[in-house]
Structure 1
Amino acid sequence: MSRFVERPRYLCTMGGAVATLKALPRAISILHASAGCGGNFANALNGATGYLGSGYCAGQALPSTNVHEKDIVFGGEDRLEEQIANTLDVVDGDLYFVVTGCMVDIIGDDSISVANRFRQQGKPVFAAETGGFKGNSFKGYDIVLNKLFAEFVEKNPVKDKQTVNLFGLVPIQDVFWKGNLNVLKALINKLGYKVNTFFGEGETIENLKKSAAAGLNIVVSDVYGIEPAKIFEETHGVPYIVVPLPIGPAGTEQFLHQVGAALGIERKFVDKVVADEKARYYGYVERLGDVYNDLDLQRYCVVVADANYAQPLAKFLADDLGWLPELVVITDVLSEEEQRLVVSRFNDFASGIRPKVVFDTDTTNVHKHLNSVWPRNNNARYYNSFSPAFVFGSSLDRDFAEAIGAPHLSVSYPISNRIVLDRAYAGYSGALRLVEDALGLLVGSR
């Protein structure tokens, strides 16, 4: 019997597709679904993402077929065709993308054929089956990229070896996606390369359309964006590499060297970029030496995050900040092979720390997992308590943090207790922001 997910940390497949398209400049989602879906997405993609806002032709303004009983009984393709035509007349966009809900996928509406009829007329209309039962937000992201890479990106046999594409950070599901993409883009720029991130600051739909000219795809995830990268390679002949999200000096140095090696950059040049970035980073961090030692700011910590964030964050805490991550709870639904791949990333911490890693989607189980790592005091005279502690998670983990008497910082979806604009935690500069946010909470009551 399947288990239910208590207080989920993601949307359904269609929600992830809508979020992905919302982050693409001038891309318009057209929902072929029931009336309630769009409203639920609008709330989840605003209030749970650091208050992102509606954006362009999104939020409560999402075009939708709002199918009813008649459409389910007799089919909703005519209603979809009508909605696409009306949206093209009313909404000014560069790309229109039909995403489908559970009902219309179950009854077998051929939404892709309907969209193709418009594309044959020269309209930039695409469609994919994104019924919510297919998976969660991450699946929706992959489905949208699969379609766009296969059918929207223009084929180009001529490659610009000084240009790369970077993806794998799921926009909006990663609440800090735009800031993180800006940081990673700037780092690769310092290696002498142009970067298409598709969803980052200053990007246009043309960056995506012309992306087949790139010489390399960089996937910043072990599990998301991999299938689209394979489709991109098969369709456009662009190879890809997989690197984890870099947070802090240790992870970012590995990131730069891995990217540099794939691009054939001399190691001496990469070392110079690393040295410059580390000098700036430690130039700021050394200012904390006195307060860190005088107030004993080292902490035990628990990390509750998705597969993209959990290992990089734990590695930063253990190898760069000198903290003690004892438990890491990864909240994604992953296959056994994906779980093994993610866990393997925890084996190379320079500090030698090996946190316990568990995979669990249910919020209330986090405390249970901590008790298995750090048993409660059973009236023993001497007891090494899990204190002082710190919790990195989502807004859902505040109750757990309060229960163990620990400060809490929201770093993963959903985030409703802080405003996020261009905040980033990736790279060297992002790690400085993370240090400010975490240590700022510790001294906040002084």
Structure 2
Amino acid sequence: MNKYIERPRYLCTLGGAVGTIKVLPGVIPVIHAAAGCGGNFTNAMNGAAGYLGSGYCAGQALPSSNVYEKDIVFGGEERLAEQISTTMEVIDGELYFVVTGCMVDIIGDDAVAVANRFRQDGKPVIAAETGGFKGNSYTGYDLVLSRLFTDFVEKNPVKEKNTVNLWGIVPIEDVFWKGDLAILKALLGKLGYQVNTFFGEGETLANLKNAAAASLNIIVSDVYGVEPAKIFEETHGVPYIIAPLPIGSAATEQFLRTVSAALNVEKAVTEQVVAEEKSRYWSYLERLADVASDLDLQRYSVVVGDSNYAPALARFLADDLGWLPELVVITDDFEEEKQQLVTARFDNFTSGFRPKVVFDTDTSNVDKHLAATWPRNNNDRYFDSFSPAFVLGSSLDRDFANSIGATHLSVSYPISNRVVLDRGYVGYRGALSLVEDIFGLLVGGR
């Protein structure tokens, strides 16, 4: 019998695709799926991503073919064509992106062919097959990017030396995606580069269309966005590098050096940026030295999150705060090869600390993994308690934190107990926000 996922921390492929499309400027998602699909994951996105909201032409106003029994029996391609035409009549958009659900993929509806008929007539319509059974939100993100890179981004043999593209942060699944992208864009800007992030502040669809003019693609993930990067390189001749999501001083310095090496940035420029950012960063953190020491604010910790945030958070806790992240639970459902890629990120902490790393999608198993990592007290006279403790996870991990007497901060999807607007946790500046949130909770009861 196949194992089910208990309280999953992501949506289906279709949900991830819609989440990716809805935050692209000027792009209208059109669902070709059974009635109810859009409403179900709309509620999951809006209520579990720091109260995201619907935005323009999304939420309950999402265009959908809402296929039913007749379409399933005889095919729903004509129903889809009707929906695309109607959507274009009543909703202004620069691009209409069709995504499909499980039912229509199973019966073999060719949504891509339907979209191509519109494109042949000069209409801005593209499509991707995103049946929910193909994977999860991250799969939808990859499928959408891959289709955009082949069918929308214009070929350009001329490359702009000082322009780069950056992706790998999955919108909505990373609840802080917009703030994170803004921070990384500003940071790379100090190296002298114009950065296209596609999903961030001030982005336009024209930036995406002209993305082939970039000299480099920077993927801030070991797994998300890597396949689209390969497609981009094959289609447009732009190479890519992987520079994992950085949080804090040690990780961000390494990030800047990795990017600088790939772009052949003058060493003096990189050193100046690193020095300035580190000086500012530590000038703020040193203010906490007295209170952290006097109040003994060092903590054992548990980190629960995806393969982008979990390694970054654990490294930040160990290398910047001097905490002990004893257990890291990565909630992605990965095959062995990807697990090894992500696990390797825990081998090079500056502090030398090495947490216990497990991959598990089930929320209730976090407590079991901690028990296996840190044995519970069996009425022993002398016992090293896992206390004081802190849990960085999602809203689903509050009960676990309460059960071990730990303070809890929601930093990974789903987040339903915080409102998130432009907050970001990456880089030097984002790490200061994270420190404020963490230490603010620790002293909040005084």
CA RMSD of aligned residues (A): 0.5
Structure 2 match to 1:113? 113
Q: Which residue of 2 aligns with 1:277?
A: 277
Report the secondary structure of 2:49's partner residue: coil
Map of 2:34 onto structure 1: 34
Q: How does 1:89-238 map to 2 (within 5 A)?
A: 89-238=89-238
Secondary structure of the structure 1 residue equivalent to 2:216? strand
In structure 2, the residue matched to 1:373 is 373
Corresponding position of 2:3: 3
Once residues 279 and 354 of structure 1 are traced to their aligned partners in structure 2, the CA distance between those partners, rounded to angstroms, is: 27
Residue 69 of structure 1 aligns with which residue?
69
What is the distance in 2 between the residues matched to 1:134 and 1:167? 22
Following the alignment from structure 2 to structure 1, what is the Cα–Cα distance between the partners of residues 38 and 177? 22
For residues 260 and 186 of structure 1, the distance between their equivalents in structure 2, rounded to whole angstroms, comes to 15
Equivalent residue for 2:54? 54
How far apart are residue 74 of structure 1 and its match? 0.7
Q: Which amino acid aligns with 2:109?
A: D
Identify unmatched segments of 5+ residues in structure 1. Answer: none
1:428 is matched with 428
- Cα deviation, 1:254-286, whole Å, max 9, x if unaligned, reads 000000000001222111100000111111111
Letter in 2 for 1:69: E
Hey, what does 1:44 align to over in structure 2? 44
Q: TM-score, normalised by structure 2?
A: 1.00
1:97, CA displacement in angstroms?
0.5
Deviations 1:12-41 (A, max 9, x none): 000000000011011111000011111012
SS in 2 for 1:28: strand
Partner of 1:258: 258
State the shift of 1:45 in Å. Answer: 1.3
In structure 2, how many angstroms separate the alpha carbons of the residues matched to 1:114 and 1:120? 10
Aligned pairs for 1:404-415 (under 5 A) are 404-415=404-415
- Which 10-residue stretch deviates more, 259-268 or 355-364? 259-268
Deviations 1:176-207 (A, max 9, x none): 00000000000000000000000000000000
SS of 2:127's equivalent?
strand
State how far apart, in whole Å, the 2-side matches of 1:259 and 1:230 are.
18
**Structure 1 residue 387 and structure 2 residue 395: aligned?**
no
Please tell me the residue identity of whatever aligns with 1:38.
G
User: Which residue number corresponds to residue 400 of structure 2?
Assistant: 400
State the alpha-carbon separation in 2 of the partners of residues 370 and 290 from structure 1.
31
- The equivalent residue for 1:241 is 241
- Once the two structures are superposed, what CA deviation does each residue of 1:78-122 show, in whole Å capped at 9, x if it has no partner? 100000000010010011011000000000001111010001111
Instruction: Please give the secondary structure, in 2, of the residue aligned with 1:195.
Output: strand
What CA distance in whole angstroms lies between the structure 2 residues aligned with 1:133 and 1:279? 48
One-letter amino acid of the counterpart of residue 61, structure 1: A
1:202 partner SS: coil
| CA distance in 2: counterparts of 1:363 and 1:298, whole angstroms | 26
Are 1:438 and 2:442 matched, yes or no? no
CA-to-aligned-CA distance 1:65-86 (integer Å, 9 cap, x gap): 0111011011101100000000
What is the match of residue 364 of structure 1?
364
1:27 maps to a residue whose letter is: V
Match of 1:35, SS?
coil
Q: Secondary structure at the match of 1:155?
A: coil
- Letter of the 2:237 counterpart: G
Distance in structure 1 (CA, Å) of the matches to 2:230 and 2:135 = 20
What is the CA-CA distance between 1:382 and the residue it aligns to? Answer: 0.5
CA drift of 1:3 comes to: 0.7
CA distance in 2, matches of 1:381, 1:96: 67
Corresponding residue pairs, total: 446
**Aligned amino acid, residue 216 of structure 1:** L
Runs of 4+ in 1 over 4 A off after TM superposition: none
1:348 partner SS: coil
Q: Secondary structure at the match of 1:66?
A: coil
* Letter of the structure 2 residue corresponding to residue 219 of structure 1: I
Match in the other structure for 1:326: 326
SS at 1:303 equivalent: strand
Measure, in 2, the Cα distance between the counterparts of 1:335 and 1:258.
27
AA of the residue aligned to 2:383: Y
Q: How far apart, in 1, do the equivalents of 2:123 and 2:44 lie?
A: 30
Percent identity of equivalent pairs: 74
After TM superposition, give the deviation of residue 2 of structure 1 in Å: 1.9
Letter of the 1:172 partner, please give it: I
Deviating more after overlay: 75-84 vs 264-273: 264-273
Inter-partner Cα distance in structure 2 for 1:168 and 1:23:
15
1:301 aligns with 2:301: yes
Output the CA distance in 1 between the equivalents of 2:41 and 2:198.
22
Unaligned runs of at least 5 residues, structure 2: none
Taking the aligned partners of 1:109 and 1:283, their CA distance within structure 2 comes to 59
Q: Separation in 2 of the partners of 1:284 and 1:353?
A: 24
Give the drift of 1:142.
0.2
In 2: Cα distance, 1:2 partner to 1:392 partner: 30
Give the match's secondary structure for 1:329: strand
Q: Distance in 2 between matches of 1:144 and 1:76?
A: 22
Q: Specify the SS of the correspondent of 2:429.
A: helix
